[in-house]
Amino acid sequence: MNGPFVKGPIEQDNTDSIVLSVQGVTKRIKNRNIVDKLSFEIHKGEIVGLLGPNGAGKTTTIRMIVGLIGMTEGDVIVKGKSVRKDFAGAIAHVGGIIENPEFYPYMTGYDNLKQYQRMTEGITEERIRTVTKLVGLEDAMRKKVKAYSLGMRQRLGIAQALLHEPSILILDEPTNGLDPAGIREMRDYLKRIASEEGISVLVSSHLLSEMELMCSRVVVIQEGKLVTMRTLGASGISDASTGAEPERVHVTLRVDDAAAAKSRLARMEEIRILNVSEESNEITVSVRDAYIPRMVGALGSEGIGLYRIEEIKESLEDEFLKWTGGNRIA
Ligand SMILES: Nc1ncnc2c1ncn2[C@@H]1O[C@H](COP(=O)(O)OP(=O)(O)O)[C@@H](O)[C@H]1O
Ligand SMILES: [Mg+2]
């Protein structure tokens, strides 16, 4: 059976596999912490989403990681190199697209990459071919960039960012302005880059639905602070946070007497009753896994017949709304 951790972080406790480590990073502007003691790590080949509503501090975080702006406190370590103390060493491992990538519109895609090659040491013709293929632009390489769609331009930007063989690719809201087909392509190419080249990807978005499809993990921020980190797996959400309270599940019980079940379960401290429907004889509760046998036993000893027990899976969207205090996602 596929567990929820199939797509989870690789070698979680092997520190060698940590590519990016954001360590207590704070950005203070005019006495306000726009980013507040933010910490998270990204492992090799992982696609991690930096998720939060508009104004949460995603762009500010990314700009600090790539050294476009300074940090007030904390540090960012890329492949063991400190952005603060060894910027050149750290940034050599980063491929980033922060604003829209700039290209020469009257030059072809290929000539734009050649132009970049001339400015950067050690990029081979072979590498240009490899990245072109990785982002699926082989056929468009001889076309002028002005004839490219937004999605093609974004992918050319990714190709360029990959030329110097970075360990991590960092993209700030790369799907902004793309149509659903473009979003889908972007997602497929990022997954391919991560799996074929073993490159880690940090991608920000305010759209949860996209993150769900693209990322193996999300780091959720709100008002500059870490809200939660979640591993996204085949079965939806699993708990990757260090939350103090053990994970509860929501289950709906179908019984022969909902009123009696309610009064019995209400006496059990570990159970929170969420909803009771006497018409359909259903009662929905929040309970820890480990407590379910006792709950069932209590109903049985009271002579209440139990016909069904069904887990209610919250969508990640419900969770996101909860984490961010009900803020709108888009
Ligand atoms: N240079 C700045 N000076 C003052 N406030 C800023 C500056 N840059 C960003 N902010 C504020 O910080 C918050 C986070 O911004 P930003 O990082 O752009 O969020 P996001 O990318 O998640 O939408 C916003 O409230 C924004 O207005
Ligand atoms: Mg932003």
**CATH number of the domain within which 87 lies:** 3.40.50.300
- Are 253 and 233 part of one and the same domain? no
Q: Give the amino acid at 155.
A: R
Does residue 205 have its Cβ closer than 6 Å to ligand 1?
no
In this structure, the number of other CB atoms found within 10 A of the CB of residue 261 comes to 26
Nearest to 98 by CA among 144, 65, 147: 65
Locate the ligand 1 atom nearest the alpha carbon of residue 172 and give its number.
Answer: 21
The answer to whether residues 283 and 229 belong to one domain is no
How many domains are there within the chain? Answer: 2
220 CA → ligand 2 middle, Å = 14
Query: Per-residue pLDDT tens for 91-134?
Result: 999 998 766 678 999 999 999 999 999 988 889 999 999 999 99
Amino acid 322 reads K
Ligand 1 atom showing the smallest separation from residue 221 Cα: 22
Q: Which of 32, 34, 72, 171 to mutate to test the pocket of ligand 1 (most atoms within 8 A of CB)?
A: 34
Range of the domain at 279: 248-317
User: Domain ends where: 218, 239, 260?
Assistant: 239
CA distance readout (Å), 296 to 276, 281, 313: 17, 16, 20
CB 27, CB 33: distance < 8 Å: yes
Ligand 1 lined by 57 (C-beta under 6 Å): yes
Query: If the chain, 330 residues long, is cut into consecutive pieces of 10 residues, what is the mean pLDDT of each piece?
Result: 41 69 97 96 94 94 94 97 95 83 91 92 93 93 94 91 94 87 87 91 89 87 89 48 57 94 93 87 90 95 95 72 57
213 and 267 in a common domain: no
pLDDT at residue 244, rounded to an integer: 38
**Does 115 map to a domain?**
no
Q: What is the pLDDT of residues 312-325, one digit of tens each?
A: 876 667 767 766 66
| CA 69 to ligand 1: nearest atom | 1
Is 231 domain-assigned?
Answer: yes
pLDDT (0 to 100) of residue 101: 72
* Domain co-membership, 88 together with 173: yes
Which mutation among 38, 54, 60, 220 tests ligand 1's pocket best, with the greatest number of atoms within 8 A of CB? 60
